[in-house]
Every structure is written in C-alpha cells, then in structure tokens.
Amino acid sequence: MYTDELQIMVQGAMVLKLVALTQPFQSSQFILAGALRGAGDTRATALITFITVMLVRPGLAMVNVNYLGWGLLGAWVALVADQLLRSLLVVLRYKSGKWKTIRV
C-alpha cells in the first residue's frame, strides 16, 4: 500500500508474522497482569515489566542488530523474546499464588 519495493514488502510480511506469533501470549499476559494489579500485586508486575521492557528488549535488540547483524529482523526478534519472557514471568507469578496474600 505504501511502497512497491519488494525488499520492504518481504521484511514487512516477516515482521507481521512475528507480531502474529506474539498475539496469544501478549493478550494472556495483559489479562493476567491486570488481574495481578487488581489484586494489589503491583510491585511484581512493575518489576516484570521493567526487567523485560527496559533491560531484555533493548539489550537483546542491540546484540541482534549490532553484533549478529540481523537488522530489522533482530529488533523484532527482541520484541518477541520480550513478550514471551514477560508472559512466562506473569504466568509464573500468577500460579505462585503470592498475590492472594497481599493486603490492599
């Protein structure tokens, strides 16, 4: 729609596939993190978000782009890794049940 350049269309299609892969995990993570925050477990959800968004995603993106030479794909792989890790950490926190003991 915006370009006729084949390389850009190929990269765009690849990025869309990666984003589609993360959607089920991301939506589950949004729901469970919201449930944890609603139960008063704001510290754990903030820590999980900080670690993944501020440390994992940019760190992995730098490695993928600058050292592995993956370019645009490397940046999006970092986003996918961030989303998958965040989803895992939120699920683990939820299943631990520690949120049930927090007094609001």
| The overall pTM is greater than 0.75 | yes
CA–CA gap between residue 91 and residue 48 (Å, rounded): 11
Token look-up 């490397």 returns: 74
What is the model's pLDDT at position 40? Answer: 95
What confidence tens digit (pLDDT) does each residue in 71-97 have? 999 999 999 999 999 999 999 999 999
What is the mean pLDDT of the segment spanning 16-43? 95
